Amino acid sequence: MTLYGNVLFTPRLRLRRVTYKDIPTLAAWSNCAIAHGKYLSPHPINEEAGYLQLESGLFWGEKSKTFVIEIKKGKSIGSIHYWLRSERKECAVVALKISVPGERNKGYGTEAQKYLIINLFERLKIDEIEMYTDINNIAQQRCLTKLGFELVDSLTYDDQKVTRLGSLFRIRRSQYQQSSIYQYYYE
């Protein structure tokens, strides 16, 4: 893993800061149910709103960052976002979306999450990271377990006016430090 300014490089991916050229793609994904898959509800924005969000720092601030996930060939396939909890600054929440259906189930989401987790624990010195997932998203639950997360709670939540049943997963610094998946992260 290498971090250069606004870009995080992994073995197969580049996680980079959202730029103006990404807004049409992000807006298109936000309006497409297929890009969200069956476990997320679309949160539609238009390009104008996307540009305003970019200019206001919503995508890249001190307490929150959104990365575009690219395959090293330069193709954008999704996004990964983290924010620090307002009530607990030492806790980050991460949200992932692989928006190109043909790029799902190839390990890209796991890889993006793994290297962002390393970055949050090693560079930002976060104490814990949380992720929410739909109760039926078994693939993401397996991924989180593989990454050392533990199931903390089951809860209902509103996702764009759709009530969903979900799971809250958490990994603490001590679990991260003991997990072998992070010890050999260059492989």
Q: Indicate which CATH number applies to the domain containing 23.
A: 3.40.630.30
Residue 161 in any domain: the answer is no
Residue 17 in any domain: the answer is yes
Measuring CA to CA, how many Å separate 161 from each of 43, 65, 137? 10, 25, 19
Residue 177 in any domain: the answer is no
Q: Which domain holds residue 49?
A: 2-130
Query: What pLDDT shows up at residue 72?
Result: 76
**Which residues pair with residue 156 across a beta bridge?**
165
- Confidence (pTM): 0.92
Residue 184 in any domain: the answer is no
- Across 112-127, b (16+ Cβ under 10 Å) vs e yields bbbbbbbbbbeeeebe
Domain count, the chain: 1
What is d(CA 75, CA 62) in angstroms, rounded to the nearest whole number?
27
Residue 158 in any domain: the answer is no
Residue 109 in any domain: the answer is yes
Query: What pLDDT shows up at residue 109?
Result: 96
What is d(CA 184, CA 164) in angstroms, rounded to the nearest whole number?
36
Query: What pLDDT shows up at residue 183?
Result: 78
Structural contact between residues 9 and 1, judged by C-beta atoms closer than 8 angstroms: yes
Query: What pLDDT shows up at residue 36?
Result: 84
Residue 136 in any domain: the answer is no
Please report which helix (H) or strand (E) contains residue 74, including its range: none
Average confidence (pLDDT) per 10 residues, the chain, 187 residues: 74 96 96 87 89 96 95 92 93 96 95 96 95 93 96 87 89 94 68
Residue 140 in any domain: the answer is no
